[in-house]
Amino acid sequence: MKDENLRDFFVIRGGSGQVVACVALHILWEDLAEIRSLAVNHDKQDKGLGSVLVRACLNEAEELGIATVFCMTYKPSFFEVHGFRQVDKMELPRKVWSECYRCPKFPDCDEVALVHRFRSGGN
């Protein structure tokens, strides 16, 4: 991981200090950010930690005036509960694909693209 991405992360630690959940809000442009790397320790799932982290990302994006947040996921229903809607991947700007070429699934990505647009963003 690059040091410049450390500011992106929200982390939840367990009682003994170990990381039990994390997520990143990666800002791409002044009006676009991506939720990345959402992970919750298997034995801590179904306790709402993922929702806490997604809400933290959305709150930060809104505070920063970012109009649109997107994510790529295998669990779209989780994000839909938080106000995301599915979109065709081709609707996303080309910049979001800048790291995808390193993925073994490129160009046949099987993740689902979702976006969350804030009302104040005018979209």
pLDDT at res. 51: 97
Instruction: Give the pTM.
Output: 0.86
The CA–CA distances, whole Å, from 114 to 63, 86, 111 equal 20, 4, 10
CATH code (residue 106): 3.40.630.30
Q: Would you tell me how many other CB atoms lie within 10 Å of the CB of residue 59?
A: 11
What is the number of structural domains in the chain?
1
The CA–CA distances, whole Å, from 98 to 28, 39, 54, 93, 94 equal: 11, 22, 23, 10, 7
Q: How far apart are CA 44 and CA 21, in angstroms?
A: 8
Q: Which domain holds residue 28?
A: 3-121
pLDDT tens track, the chain, 123 positions: 444 454 678 999 998 999 999 999 999 989 999 999 999 999 999 999 999 999 999 999 999 999 999 999 999 999 999 999 999 988 888 777 777 778 788 777 889 999 999 975 444
